Amino acid sequence: MKTSVPVPKTAAELRQAIVERYDSLSKRLQLIARHALDHPDDFALQTLAVISARSGAQPSAIVRFSKTFGFSGASDMQRLFRDSLVSSNAALGYGERVRRFGAQLQGSRSHGVAALLQEFVDGSALALQSLAQTVGEGDLERAIELLKAADTVFVAGFRRAFPVASYLAYSLQQAGKRTSFVDGVAGLSAHQVKNIRTTDALLAVSYRPYAPETVQLVEAAAAAGTPILAISDSPVSPIARLSTRLLLVREMEVRSFRSLAASLCLAQALAIGFAFIQSAGAHGSRRRGSLK
Amino acid sequence: MKTSVPVPKTAAELRQAIVERYDSLSKRLQLIARHALDHPDDFALQTLAVISARSGAQPSAIVRFSKTFGFSGASDMQRLFRDSLVSSNAALGYGERVRRFGAQLQGSRSHGVAALLQEFVDGSALALQSLAQTVGEGDLERAIELLKAADTVFVAGFRRAFPVASYLAYSLQQAGKRTSFVDGVAGLSAHQVKNIRTTDALLAVSYRPYAPETVQLVEAAAAAGTPILAISDSPVSPIARLSTRLLLVREMEVRSFRSLAASLCLAQALAIGFAFIQSAGAHGSRRRGSLK
DNA sequence: TCAAATCTGGAAGAAATATTCCAGACTTCG
DNA sequence: CGAAGTCTGGAATATTTCTTCCAGATTTGA
């Protein structure tokens, strides 16, 4: 090919390259360039035939266009557009990088432990971004309402979900809610919710692979007609399906380990949101620092 | 096909249909359903072969899945996912979210609870960023060495630090480390470390205002000559000054509440870094999923 | 326990999509 | 005006990707 310029590595780079070289392009190629800039979505996920029809250029012209910018073919260029579509949806463009982490599973500690930390930071940041999108406007509010209506909130979560559950139990307690933490000490988790009533609520946290204890608790509560607020990773998880309200957290996988940052973040928002609403309803001012 | 239910016309409809019919699906089809719900991006724009690899089902199974929901084939279903990808992206807009970040920095709670979540997301993300800078290259490695050298690791942390401590205890245990979680049940925390030896190690997590139990434990361990790994928020905190190794976490304050995301993230990096090094030293291959 | 029904994975075939090629049209410049 | 160089569109080809099919495995029910 005529060009020896570096192949764009990101959608942003490609955009810039298109703008810069726009003038030097031939008529048809300019047409395509315009379309690429104006309708990146088309470019990202339509077939060549469709793009061709919409832009008024031939498929072959699109391939030529791609090659002009150093790609091996049109498919190659489309990948870039697609990546940007996903990553802009999820976060800052880290998307692809994080995904590759999974791909290079076996790369292991060649880059040292510090790199591992960085990976977790990236993964967690990504999960946080998606959290804001996943949890809709009213979801959190309704979840808080459920807690507010309960006489006593039973909080359960084991294994990986235990930290989240323990934080929630602690925070809600601090916020002045009658809270019972089902910590499963001495294997008594079943006993601890034995006397749960329909006026109470169960706050269950569980991620795949779902701890059987939690599932059982949820099933028992559901059977008893107790409202259930679930924090889980899939709408079809055993506990989500039985829940009254569901807060969905999609954690990122880093080297096949899921992060927890987003879950904790959500838990905080839940607990502190509860505290605010609670106190706002009771009296205008309240102690802010109580949960510190 | 067996189904005469109306074909989903939007991604939302499809999601709902998947959730509703999840139970009646076969095992493989449930696997795919789960993947569709959890990784819609993959489904939207990856090729069947890729989705197949990531979800663990065969391409043909994906086609079957699609037909179960009334589509003529997998491509037909993918179109729906793609459409939603575009529209959700367009609805948000690139700069829109970024603009909101700044706008609501100081925004009071007039924007409701959803804004609160966003604040926590932002705060946590910031904390994560600074984490990568605060924790230096060798810090994590040396911390891991300390754990590795210990016969038994005692993990302690109360109040706000409890979730972090419990996660660490759980993960290290999973990684094959002899771990004792000082959970303070029945106020016995002092007893639980009574027999700690110099060949053990104490992993203490504490943030201001430092829980007296933790401080006491650290003081006792220090007096006994036991190596101490501290996770704390200041180099001059009571537990940091007595520690052998220190991992510093600066959490962001959101509305006078400190986030926990960075701490959890660090804890994960520590635990999983330990797992990697441990297993790398012991034997070449190991079970990766043990901590999932 | 066995038989019927259903589900699964792989391979062969079908369809779609992308790429190459080239004759003819267009532009540029002497 | 004419030749050299470049660009274009469409058809032929190559490749990727999807779908169908079916024998064997698994599950279900009696």
Q: What is the pLDDT of residues B161-218, one digit of tens each?
A: 999 999 999 999 988 899 999 887 655 656 666 678 899 999 999 998 888 889 989 9
Mean per-residue pLDDT for A139-144?
90
Residues of chain A found within 8 Å of residue B290, distances taken between Cβ atoms: none
Mean per-residue pLDDT for A38-62?
86
Rounded CA separation A83/B160 (Å) = 39
CA of B71 to C1' of C13 (A): 21
Same domain, A78 and A155: no
Angle, to 10 degrees, between the axis of helix B113-134 and the axis of helix B94-103?
90
- List C-alpha distances in Å: A30 to A26, A57, A85, B92: 6, 10, 23, 29
Same domain, B73 and B174: no
Same domain, A192 and A277: yes
Residue B120 lies in a domain: no
Same domain, B199 and B137: yes
State yes or no: pLDDT of B35 exceeds 90. no
CATH of the domain at B243: 3.40.50.10490
Q: What is the pLDDT of residue B73?
A: 87
- Which has the closest alpha carbon to B143: B284, B266, B279? B266
Whether the CA torsion A55, A56, A57, A59 is positive or negative: it is: positive
The residue of B39, B65, B121, B231 whose CB has the most chain A CBs within 10 angstroms, and thus the best one to mutate to test that interface, is: B121
Pick A257's closest partner by Cβ from B45, B159, B272.
B272
Rounded CA separation B153/A26 (Å) = 69
Same domain, A150 and A275: yes
Rounded CA separation B108/B42 (Å) = 38
More confident residue, A203 or B72: A203
Residue A122 lies in a domain: no
Max Cα separation, chain A?
78
Same domain, B81 and B198: no
Q: What is the pLDDT of residue A289?
A: 41
Quick one: tokens of B27?
């095992």
Same domain, B182 and B71: no
Please judge whether A45 and B41 are an interchain contact, meaning their C-beta atoms are less than 8 angstroms apart. Answer: no
Q: What is the pLDDT of residues A52-97, one digit of tens each?
A: 888 888 899 999 999 988 888 888 898 888 877 765 544 333 334 4
Judged by C1' against the alpha carbon of B47, the nearest nucleotide is: D17
Residue A241 lies in a domain: yes
Residue A290 pLDDT level (bands cut at 50, 70, 90) = very low
CA of B1 to C1' of C3 (A): 25
Rounded CA separation A145/A141 (Å) = 6
State yes or no: pLDDT of A239 exceeds 60. yes
- Which has the closest alpha carbon to B272: A105, A131, A210? A105
> In the listed set B41, B73, B92, which residue is the last one of a domain according to the structure?
B92
Rounded CA separation B263/B272 (Å) = 14
User: DSSP for A214-230?
Assistant: HHHHHHHHHHHT--EEE
Same domain, A19 and A81: yes
Residue B141 lies in a domain: yes
Phi, psi (rounded to 5 degrees) for A154: -95, 130
Q: What is the pLDDT of residue A245?
A: 94
Q: What is the pLDDT of residue A254?
A: 66
Q: Is A223 at the interface with chain B, CB within 8 A?
A: no
Mean per-residue pLDDT for A148-166?
93
Rounded CA separation B12/B84 (Å) = 8
Whether residue A216 contacts residue A170, with contact meaning beta carbons closer than 8 Å, is answered with: no
CATH of the domain at B83: 1.10.10.10
> In the listed set A90, A123, A141, which residue is the last one of a domain according to the structure?
A90
Nearest-5° angle of CA A271, CA B38, CA A223? 60
Residue A95 lies in a domain: no
Side-chain-side CA neighbours of residue B119 (13 Å): 26
- At a CB cut-off of 8 Å and minimum separation 6, what does B285 contact? none
Encode chain B in three state secondary structure.
CCCCCCCCCCHHHHHHHHHHHHHHCCHHHHHHHHHHHHCHHHHHHCCHHHHHHHHCCCHHHHHHHHHHCCCCCHHHHHHHHHHHHHHHHHHHCHHHHHHHHHHCCCCCHHHCHHHHHHHHHHHHHHHHHHHHHHCCHHHHHHHHHHHHHCCCEEEEECHHHHHHHHHHHHHHHHCCCCEEEECCHHHCHHHHCCCCCCCCEEEEEECCCCCHHHHHHHHHHHHHCCCEEEEECCCCCHHHHCCCEEEECCCCEECCEECCHHHHHHHHHHHHHHHHHHHHHHCCCCCCHHHC
Same domain, B183 and B83: no
> In the listed set A40, A65, A90, which residue is the last one of a domain according to the structure?
A90
Q: What is the pLDDT of residues B93-115, one digit of tens each?
A: 333 333 333 333 334 444 577 67
Mean per-residue pLDDT for A280-284?
53
Q: What is the pLDDT of residues A102-113, one digit of tens each?
A: 433 334 444 576
Mean per-residue pLDDT for A157-186?
88
Q: What is the pLDDT of residue B107?
A: 41
Residue B261 lies in a domain: yes
Same domain, B145 and B214: yes
Task: Count structural domains, chain B.
Answer: 2
CA of A57 to C1' of D25 (A): 51
Same domain, B39 and B152: no
Rounded CA separation A89/A96 (Å) = 12
Please judge whether B90 and A264 are an interchain contact, meaning their C-beta atoms are less than 8 angstroms apart. Answer: no
Please judge whether A170 and B164 are an interchain contact, meaning their C-beta atoms are less than 8 angstroms apart. Answer: no
The residue of A81, A121, A158, A285 whose CB has the most chain B CBs within 10 angstroms, and thus the best one to mutate to test that interface, is: A121
Mean per-residue pLDDT for A175-185?
85
Residue B56 lies in a domain: yes
Tell me the shortest Cα–Cα distance from B60 to chain A, in angstroms: 22
Domain holding B163, by residue range, is 129-291
- At a CB cut-off of 8 Å and minimum separation 6, what does B222 contact? B228, B242
Same domain, B59 and B171: no
Residue B65 pLDDT level (bands cut at 50, 70, 90) = very high
State yes or no: pLDDT of B127 exceeds 50. yes
% of chain A surpassing 90 pLDDT: 24
Residue B112 lies in a domain: no
